[in-house]
A and B are shown apart, each in its own frame.
Chain A
Amino acid sequence: MASEQEILSGLAEIVNEETGLPTDSVQADKSFTDDLDIDSLSMMTIVVNAEEKFGVRIPDEDVKNLRTVGDAVAYISQAQG
């Protein structure tokens, strides 16, 4: 099981690969759409890569509830639980 900090840094790497944003800009309080300007296609790519990286499943109906990076970290952490 990864710690929330490990999930955050892993997620930051995925976001960086997809968007080119620096990893240190990917912080728990940032909104994927409003702060990081991530469109729906990029968000789905990030979700697919996160599922692969963390060995979890994030159904489409749950993706729309992941507003911030922190929401995603908490979701992945719980799904790994």
Chain B
Amino acid sequence: MTMTTTGTSRRVVVTGMGATTPIGGDVRSSWEAALAGRSGARPITDDWIHEHELPVTFAAQAAVRADAVLERREVKRLDPSQQFAVIAAREAWADAGTPEVDPLRLASVVATGIGGIWTLMTAYDTLREKGARRVLPLTVPMLMANGPTASISLEFGARAGAHTPVSACASGAEALAYGFDLIRSGRADMVIAGGTEAAIHPLPIASFASMHALSRRNEDPARASRPFDTARDGFVLGEGAGIVVLEAEEHARARGARVHAELLAAGLSADAHHVAAPEPEGAGVARAIGDALRQAGLQPSDLTHVNAHATSTPVGDVAEDKGLRLALGDAVDGIAVSATKSMTGHLLGAAGAVESIFTMLALRDRMAPPTINVDDIDPEVSLDVVRKDPRPLPGQGRLIGLNNAFGFGGHNVSVVFASA
């Protein structure tokens, strides 16, 4: 089926979803765990945790190990970031009905914040210990940041393009934004889009800890990720992938596909303020949100749910609070805000994709997931945070929700969805 409709009037729908996260090996189990308020944070038990006197000894590792799902040969040839992406993409593609598509109209856009760091560091160890001769020839395809999108392009025969936006922790949402543009501009009819990350490795832990970005609540991992809570002390490193199948609405309709949600718009901005710290008044955040709403022709009061970026850092959560109020005004008081990183930890380049999936599921089920560990909400936070239990979303008919994702470097991405 070839469709060559072009122009910016095309509507974009989501017809497939896949994920592997610290709270579930697929979308269904991850969403059930999110609604149940289960934390994926645990002490790290791998041997390397004792080698470096790391100040942080816990993380939110994938609930289902990739090597329990993939064939041994795949595990050997793919970096863990690629393994997670392939697992999530297979689920998303099956969920989309394993469609027969024109390869020239199918693209992949799979992002990562950090890339194949396990491959890179392991190969460097080999180089130092055993010499150049022992460095395996697949090292480069495994460590490169575009490795995940390349693996997926190869597996599904996506020939319209294979892309990798890299914007730290905004990467996964930026991938959806880029996929949205590919369809709207007529370059593709379907896009396999999302983000992946596998950076629970001593070096990122030491580096994030060095900048005081990580929670040090080693004695109580499940309560460490506490967005908007007064006692928050940093994020919890997570891993996994979220992948969606984006599709031109007329293409989905022509093949009778089930539609999960409509992707209405994506707003992007840059702070140009500091390489790591967010702009404290949320001005860049507000511009991304405002841009997304304008594109979609929406008013702030049209929103019923926000899945916040809210990583549980002292500065970031407050800046997001201010940005939301700046963009939405008093309408923000009627919006149910959830921070699912309280359960999944921070999946870095996968976060925006996994949380976009959670946003769509919240709209579908008309139920906002809880934000766990908010025992004492920060008085500087004015948002209506969904705490402890999931909350039914009010309103009839189509529900509109927004997912925020921000990254070191000052990247802000806001993605807006409507229930099907």
Partner-B contacts on A (CB < 8 A): 17-20, 41, 44-45, 48, 51-52, 57
20 inter-chain pairs at a CB distance below 8 angstroms, sorted by A residue, are A17-B73, A18-B73, A18-B76, A19-B73, A20-B72, A20-B73, A41-B137, A41-B138, A44-B136, A44-B137, A45-B136, A45-B137, A45-B138, A48-B133, A48-B134, A48-B136, A51-B133, A51-B134, A52-B134, A57-B133
Partner-A contacts on B (CB < 8 A): 71-73, 76, 133-138
Instruction: Give 3 nearest A-B pairs by CB, closest first.
Output: A44-B137, A20-B73, A41-B137
- B42 CB → nearest A CB, Å: 30
CB-based nearest B residue for A58: B133
A17:B137 contact, CB within 8 angstroms: no
CA distance A51 to B130 in the complex (A): 12
CA distance A17 to B137 in the complex (A): 15
CA distance A48 to B134 in the complex (A): 6
Q: Which residues of A contact B138 (CB under 8 A)?
A: 41, 45
Kindly list 15 other residue pairs between chains A and B, CB separation below 8 angstroms, not including A17-B72, A19-B73: A17-B73, A17-B76, A18-B73, A18-B76, A20-B71, A41-B138, A44-B136, A44-B137, A45-B136, A45-B137, A45-B138, A48-B134, A48-B135, A51-B133, A51-B134
Q: Which residues of A contact B76 (CB under 8 A)?
A: 17-18
- B100 CB → nearest A CB, Å: 26
Q: Which residues of B contact A20 (CB under 8 A)?
A: 71-73
- A79 CB → nearest B CB, Å: 14
CA distance A23 to B138 in the complex (A): 22
CB-based nearest B residue for A51: B133
CA distance A19 to B74 in the complex (A): 9
- B56 CB → nearest A CB, Å: 34
B73:A48 contact, CB within 8 angstroms: no
CB-based nearest A residue for B130: A52
Q: Which residues of B contact A45 (CB under 8 A)?
A: 136-138
CA distance A53 to B347 in the complex (A): 37
CA distance A19 to B76 in the complex (A): 10
Q: Which residues of A contact B71 (CB under 8 A)?
A: 20
CA distance A17 to B71 in the complex (A): 10
Q: Which residues of A contact B136 (CB under 8 A)?
A: 44-45, 48
- B144 CB → nearest A CB, Å: 14
- B130 CB → nearest A CB, Å: 8
A48:B72 contact, CB within 8 angstroms: no
CB-based nearest B residue for A41: B137
CA distance A51 to B138 in the complex (A): 16
- A48 CB → nearest B CB, Å: 6
Q: Which residues of B contact A41 (CB under 8 A)?
A: 137-138
Q: Which residues of A contact B137 (CB under 8 A)?
A: 41, 44-45, 48
- A26 CB → nearest B CB, Å: 14
- B283 CB → nearest A CB, Å: 48
CA distance A20 to B227 in the complex (A): 45
- A52 CB → nearest B CB, Å: 7
CB-based nearest A residue for B135: A48
- B22 CB → nearest A CB, Å: 29
Q: Which residues of A contact B135 (CB under 8 A)?
A: 48
Q: Which residues of B contact A51 (CB under 8 A)?
A: 133-134
Q: Which residues of B contact A48 (CB under 8 A)?
A: 133-137
CB-based nearest A residue for B140: A41
Q: Which residues of B contact A17 (CB under 8 A)?
A: 72-73, 76
CA distance A9 to B232 in the complex (A): 56
CA distance A41 to B135 in the complex (A): 12
- B217 CB → nearest A CB, Å: 40
Q: Which residues of B contact A19 (CB under 8 A)?
A: 73
- A42 CB → nearest B CB, Å: 8
CA distance A46 to B99 in the complex (A): 36
CB-based nearest B residue for A21: B73
Q: Which residues of A contact B134 (CB under 8 A)?
A: 48, 51-52
CA distance A41 to B77 in the complex (A): 11
- A63 CB → nearest B CB, Å: 11
CA distance A19 to B71 in the complex (A): 11
CB-based nearest B residue for A60: B133
- A21 CB → nearest B CB, Å: 9
CA distance A51 to B126 in the complex (A): 14
Q: Which residues of B contact A18 (CB under 8 A)?
A: 73, 76
CA distance A52 to B71 in the complex (A): 23
Q: Which residues of A contact B73 (CB under 8 A)?
A: 17-20
- A45 CB → nearest B CB, Å: 5
CA distance A18 to B71 in the complex (A): 11
CB-based nearest A residue for B74: A20
CA distance A44 to B138 in the complex (A): 9
- A54 CB → nearest B CB, Å: 14
